[in-house]
Amino acid sequence: MRHLTLMAFAALALAGCNGGEDFSDATVPGCPLGANCDLNPRGEVLVELQGPRVANLGYSCGNSTGYTRAEEVTLGNVVVPPFHALCPANSGSIEFYIGSGLFEGNNASLGRYLLPQQLRKGTYQVTLADLSLANTITSPRRVALKADSMDATSSVLNRSALLHALNEMGNDPDQAIIIPGNPAEKADAGDPNTILDAQPDLAPDSGFAGTDYEAFKAAWQGFIDRVNTESPTDGFDTDTTNYQTRLELGNDRSRAGLYAFEIAGECIILEGCEFGGEAGSTVSFTLNALVLPDGGILGGGTGVRASNDQNQILDYLGFDSNAGLSDLLELQNQQDESLAVDLLSRDIGDAPADNTQGKISGRFLGSSLYAGVEIDGRSDFKLDFPGSATALDPNDKGEINGKLLNEALDPESPLPFRATKTGFVQALPDSAIVSDLAGTYTIRLMRACVDDDLGNDDANCSDIVDPTPDTPDVNEEISDSGGNYPQIIGGEIITRERFRLDENSVDEFCLVISSEGQVSTGVAGACDTTYTVGFVTRTFSDPKSANVSLRLAPGLDVAADIPHFNATIEGRIDLAAGGCAPMYRLSDENFEIGLRARWVEDSYLPRLLLAELGEDRTAAEDRRVASLVSGAVQFFEGAPGDSCDPMAPAP
């Protein structure tokens, strides 16, 4: 336990004069039933403060109280990664602080973050810009680092400044802040948390308020001086430039990841939503997206409009090339910075031309964007934050305006939708590994060879190589449970593969990875950086490797330029495999056996082919469609025909 009364702290200071008594078990007398009187980190949910990460930072959530650590630790049955807090799943919020969060403990709060109760996640990534110092919090709202760009500092930057000032001297804050002390010890005289708990008057009444950086430093300098008598720390920088840079990086990485957008299901139940068109008409869609660190949104999916007379419009819907998430997690046009993004249609088959020209708007509050449709006084927002004193702000609601699947929506009653984050990325990939990735690569999307009425194409097919030849009875590439290919397509046993051709007959194409981890391609897959299509999401030192997330959908308005538009790839590049950098599956087990990465794309090219073939398709044509939905990724460094090309003729 970190909490020490003033008398206990004084006794600890005198330990060297009275025989060295151990005061590590000093506690608060008369701990009331149910109070947190000892450190007890517990739970199932992880929360990581980023921008930068911090070790030995106090936190409290539900009945869990602890300090973040610089190393991995197992608490109960949960492996807690470095710099993460551990919280019970039903915690309503988490608070970070310097000091003690125990009964009658003293601390300087860095703010609270509301945790959702319905759309719960296993991991949350937050920055100081997400933490609120208000007594009453209505939602987990990210705020600007500065209210005015001309201000010297802000509440957010002041909190970052204090954490940086407490960084252990000699430690690199670009990697993480290490606050001196042992998070596992009950009492540590040199720990800033213990010092502030025992001497709360060292925290100024002004806290973190104000835009005068010199005044802020002066107010907290007494605390920093007291800490330095025990443990040398960095102290304050002369200005907030470095603090802001690291916070911006944390904001970018915590914004990045996988997202899903969908029409509010409540609208199907209620009659209060206006879908446009004839009475009884309904609309549904699910749009999956990859959000880049700079906020760019890549993605799309299938939309359907149905009516009572069985008329139906089915089409691919996608974001345009300017779609993004702002620094405050608002849907934003990245070109003109207006707070809405364009939603477009591909006009597949019988779908009318330009059937969708919509604008979608809203703001993510934490990890989700809410529709705010109320049923008996309840809504998705209220279910997540039942303690909120206010309803969802109208400007934050997920809304669609304009034309959607060939019908104009009522501007007085926009169509509600919601969105949520479904996958997160590493806070701080190893920059040396990312730099080593920089270069040009060739990628091929392989599909199963089937009898598809395209003529005798045996010359285009090759055997699907077993990654574990020592077990010839099992080829992990061909499996109905986790393989890259199903065992059977349309009655045919799968044993061979070939290049997938996109709608412009592009097969192989080039990817460029920058030293910052951005993945790009050019028009028709040329080796340039015209279009960003993914980024490095995670790095590993042993074995040396890096995960990448790719979504070949940087805007439906530029689809004609993009090879294999809409394909999704999650892969792990092996940087210790003879220099050719092959791409395998993400999991350690599949990576170790060399199971190739998988691509998936079921709502664009397959639907274009279905529309072309019509309803009277042959079995062979159905097999062709099925083979275009997923397959293996062939990826290597360099150009086609180079020594790394697995299909290059033997020398």
Q: What pLDDT sits at residue 136?
A: 87
Question: How do residues 304-362 score in pLDDT, each as one tens digit?
Answer: 999 876 678 999 999 999 999 999 999 999 999 999 999 999 999 999 999 999 999 99
| Segment 84-101 mean pLDDT | 96
Q: What pLDDT sits at residue 26?
A: 36
Please report which confidence band the pLDDT of residue 15 belongs to, taking 50, 70 and 90 as the band edges: very low
Closest Cα partner for 156 from 109, 197, 209?
209
Q: Taking the C-alpha atoms of 381, 383, 387 and 388 in order, what is their torsion angle to the nearest 10 degrees?
A: 10
Length of the chain, in residues: 651
Tell me the three state secondary structure of residue 600: strand
Give the integer Cα–Cα distance in Å for 298 and 290. 5
Please report which confidence band the pLDDT of residue 455 belongs to, taking 50, 70 and 90 as the band edges: low
Most confident stretch, 166-170, 387-391, 613-617: 166-170
Question: How do residues 279-298 score in pLDDT, each as one tens digit?
Answer: 888 999 999 999 999 999 99
**pLDDT beyond 70 at 75:** yes
Question: How do residues 174-223 score in pLDDT, each as one tens digit?
Answer: 999 999 998 877 667 889 999 999 999 999 999 999 999 999 999 999 99
Q: Provide the b/e sequence for 53-72 (b: ≥16 CB within 10 Å).
A: bbbbbbbbbbebbbbbbbee
636 and 442 Cβ atoms separated by less than 8 Å:
yes
**pLDDT beyond 90 at 271:** no
**pLDDT beyond 50 at 470:** yes
Give the integer Cα–Cα distance in Å for 76 and 44. 10
Token pair 């990576």: residue: 591
624 and 451 Cβ atoms separated by less than 8 Å:
no
Cβ–Cβ contacts within 10 Å for residue 103, how many? 18
